[in-house]
Structure 1
Amino acid sequence: MLLDSVRDVPSEEELNGEWMDQAPNPGTCPPKIPCARRHPHDNGEPQSPTATIAASKRASQELEDPRHHKKHRLFNSLGDIISLRIGPKRVPFSVHRDVLLSSSPGLAEMCNLFVSPDDRTILLLSQCPDTVQALCYWMYHDEICISHTISQRPGNHLDPLETAPGLFVKLYIAGDKYSMPRLRNDAIDALLSHSQTIDLVRLSTYVYTNMKVGSNLRKLLVRVVSYKFDAEDLHEHRHLICAEFMFDLAKAAFVDRDQGFNRFRDRMPPQEGFCVAFHVHERGAERCEMMKGRKVKSKQGLKLLSGLDEIISLVVGNEPQTTTLSIHKSVLCETSPFFKAACKPEWLKSEDKVIRLPEDNVDAILAMIYWMYQDRIGFTDKQEASYRFEILSESEMDSIWGLWSRLYIIGDKYGIPRLRNHVIDAMFHYRDKVGQLPSLLIPYVYQHTASSDDPLRRLLVAFMKVDLTEAYLVKNEKVLSSEFLFELTMAFVKSYRNGDSYDDVPDDWGCDEICESFHIHDDETRICESLHLPVLLKEAKN
């Protein structure tokens, strides 16, 4: 009999409870740190603040997300699309070439061998569409995701490969075939967190047929079954266990005997020490402390999973200096009502599927596309290095501040309030890295926003109300917008009248206060539970 009829492998939360208790809770505030800003009456140029709301937020976020260290290449080229043809029916999936190159050495080699300017196709005839669909989602999002339909299939489904554990196994095998160790690690975590032992037993023949001796997936099956099954279980399910698997179970039993182990008394759960036992890491990489789970997507939230075959080309800029960027139609339409309308047949020509954006900045559209796939703002090493610049220099708009201002305006222009909220969070996070916000941002923002109640306008006024000095004001008199100066003066008057502090964004503010003051939510969107920090993208070489 099975030890647990529901799930006899501990959940991710149960296993990681000890570690999770030690991690900071997103949205909570750490102890206050004294603020080192200069006061508004100081005459000198402001010094870089050493503690701001950004410091508080960084302490309350999980900044060591593995995606911070992944070498993303989405900023290099989004115009080159590879068509994957899957299975005997050659089901078409379209993927950015840069994503393939950065995620899989195996697929990268196939790109180099088989892809030409005249033929951008790779045949994966031995794979099934469900597996490659989930693999593509992982390449873009760095996490395993399954559809709601697959997640609801019972463990006793006629074909175990059509269940969630079956998909995890197929992803592991694909990760092994295409040299993707991080995908293999994530598939191991998904199996340990969300499978019953009987699921693994039903899949064992497939695993032993497709994996070599000594593989970590074989080791996982042996360890789980050795830990969970007693004699009655083995007898009941003998018909599901192939000869090689039974040999490995017997060998494990002899090892236990020789080491003096009683498997029901002494052996640790298979999840204990999971990283050392089953993961593969690059030399020098830190060991995993927590297992990664998997996400379940409903039909309405599939985005990339629901449409890997249809690509839209965004042509950015005016002739002759235009740049073509490619994006999956499902991702574009899911994140923006403007683009959803633009993709309707009456507006989009079926023969070319092109949307022209002549007024937009290429870097900003690149950042928007990255955000649409990742649901987080990314920026490059070069952009981060340019946050310090000569005041009144054109490089101001090439800095991350210029990028984020443009990104905010794009979010407003194309009806993406969530993107605007993420920009607000990014600016809070990076506020402590410069003495004052770049002056050229102010006329740009005020030129492209219409209301004094716009969140970014109010944020700039709040920042400058504390960080601006009289000397800086005089120096930049001709640059600063008259509307901005009016709203800044009004903010000071309100503080005088109400006897409030000059600082409208105190250092001890948490997610709730920032969200309530500067975020935009529709009636169906809940208030943010945590702030959304930007991620630094390490650009890899071709």
Structure 2
Amino acid sequence: MFSRNPNKSQTESFSKSRRSTKRSSFREHAISKNRSERPRKPPTEETNPLSTNLTSSIITLVVGREQRLFAAHEDVLCTSPFFQAACRTQFLTTENKRISLPDEEPEIFSSVLEYLYKGDYYPKLVHNKRRNAWELETGEGGQSVESTVYHHGVDGELLKDTVIYCTAEKYGLEELKRVALRKQGLQSGIQCSTILTSARYAYANTPDTDSKLRAHYLALIIRSRGTFKRSGTMQMEMQAGGSQLFFDLFVALCNHVDDVASIAGSPRSVRTHH
């Protein structure tokens, strides 16, 4: 699952991947940086069978530092408690029906809108009947889909599904959280440093009562501890300062060692000598 190429530039990888994998029809929703342009209309009901009522008013959303414009139906947005509240309070002016989301990443918000209209986001989960396993769909020509996204908040790459999970937490979209969680760990070629940065982001953007994504990262690091040890990233991260992530990891590793010791010491596994 991991790539140990320390010389690979994350920024270059992101820019190249965006050019090669920008295929989702819903991404066409975001228009150019020029705010004077009118946002394109949302998909029609014919192209989005999961949407049952697309007759409500259109909301314009100004997203990210680049102020990318998106458009969505009010009824669809209000599936989220966050946007339901926004449509009733100061985030929305009656005159122009506009919500500003300066801290969001446009690529992530595009996936959230795609989910609200279609029930999933690209790349979708597909069932491999031959292997009887769930996998992520591939891009055009069978190419793997870029699994990271550049996030201005951390000034680096994060796993896209992790950011979507945390965004769904903020917007109160529990089903989207379940979809994003199912896609965690299905990517390949991820650098150890990106895994750890994404784990820290997950801890910083989920409440203590929500342990599912955190548990995913703890299990992933323990399962791939040899790779992390060889990469040296874990040592550097822990020397940089303590956090809840590494305290939980320490506890999880201790529990793992205790479980292994318990199994090794069980009567069934002890060899007797006569």
Instruction: Name the TM tier (shorter chain).
Output: 0.5 to 0.7
> Would you say the 8 A contact 1:435–1:467 is kept in 2?
no
Identity of aligned residues (%): 21
Find the counterpart in structure 1 of residue 267 from structure 2: none
1:353 maps to which of 97, 101, 116: 97
Please state how far the C-alpha of 1:467 moved relative to its aligned partner: 0.8
Find the counterpart in structure 2 of residue 266 from structure 1: none
Find the counterpart in structure 2 of residue 471 from structure 1: 230
> Would you say the 8 A contact 1:495–1:501 is kept in 2?
no
1:445 aligns with 2:184: no
Q: 1:363 is matched by which residue type in structure 2?
A: E
Q: 1:388 to 1:326 in 2, by over 3 A?
A: closer
* Structure 1 Cα separation of the partners of residues 120 and 262 of structure 2: 33
Q: 1:355 to 1:388 in 2, by over 3 A?
A: closer
SS in 2 for 1:314: strand
Q: Within 5 A, what are the aligned runs for 1:186-265?
A: none
1:362 aligns with 2:106: yes
Give per-residue Cα distances to partners, 1:35-63, cap 9 Å, x unaligned: xx99xxxxxx69xxxxxxxxxxxxxxxxx
SS in 1 for 2:25: coil
* Structure 2 Cα separation of the partners of residues 476 and 425 of structure 1: 27
Matched pairs, number? 214
Q: 1:345 to 1:460 in 2, by over 3 A?
A: closer
Segments of 4+ moved more than 6 angstroms = none
1:75 aligns with 2:75: no
1:429 aligns with 2:186: yes
Please state how far the C-alpha of 1:439 moved relative to its aligned partner: 2.5
* Structure 2 Cα separation of the partners of residues 394 and 444 of structure 1: 12
- RMSD of aligned C-alpha atoms? 3.7
Q: Within 5 A, what are the aligned runs for 1:100-119?
A: none
Larger strand fraction of residues: 2
* Structure 1 Cα separation of the partners of residues 262 and 240 of structure 2: 27
1:138 maps to which of 46, 53, 57: 46
Find the counterpart in structure 1 of residue 61 from structure 2: 314
Find the counterpart in structure 1 of residue 270 from structure 2: none
Instruction: Give the structure with higher Rg (CA).
Output: 1
* Structure 2 Cα separation of the partners of residues 346 and 378 of structure 1: 32
* Structure 2 Cα separation of the partners of residues 375 and 310 of structure 1: 21
Q: Within 5 A, what are the aligned runs for 1:330-341?
A: 330-334=75-79, 336-341=80-85
In the alignment, structure 1 segments of 5+ residues that lack a partner are: 1-36, 39-44, 47-70, 83-94, 100-135, 142-302, 503-542
Q: 1:388 to 1:355 in 2, by over 3 A?
A: closer
> Would you say the 8 A contact 2:51–2:118 is kept in 1?
no
TM-score, normalization by structure 2: 0.65
Please state how far the C-alpha of 1:421 moved relative to its aligned partner: 0.9
Please state how far the C-alpha of 1:384 moved relative to its aligned partner: 5.0
> Would you say the 8 A contact 1:452–1:458 is kept in 2?
no
1:484 aligns with 2:228: no
In the alignment, structure 2 segments of 5+ residues that lack a partner are: 6-22, 32-37, 124-137, 264-274
Q: 1:373 to 1:417 in 2, by over 3 A?
A: same
Find the counterpart in structure 1 of residue 132 from structure 2: none
Q: 1:463 to 1:355 in 2, by over 3 A?
A: same
Find the counterpart in structure 1 of residue 255 from structure 2: 494
Find the counterpart in structure 2 of residue 405 from structure 1: 162
Find the counterpart in structure 1 of residue 118 from structure 2: 374
TM-score, normalization by structure 1: 0.35
Please state how far the C-alpha of 1:388 moved relative to its aligned partner: 8.5
> Would you say the 8 A contact 1:452–1:487 is kept in 2?
no
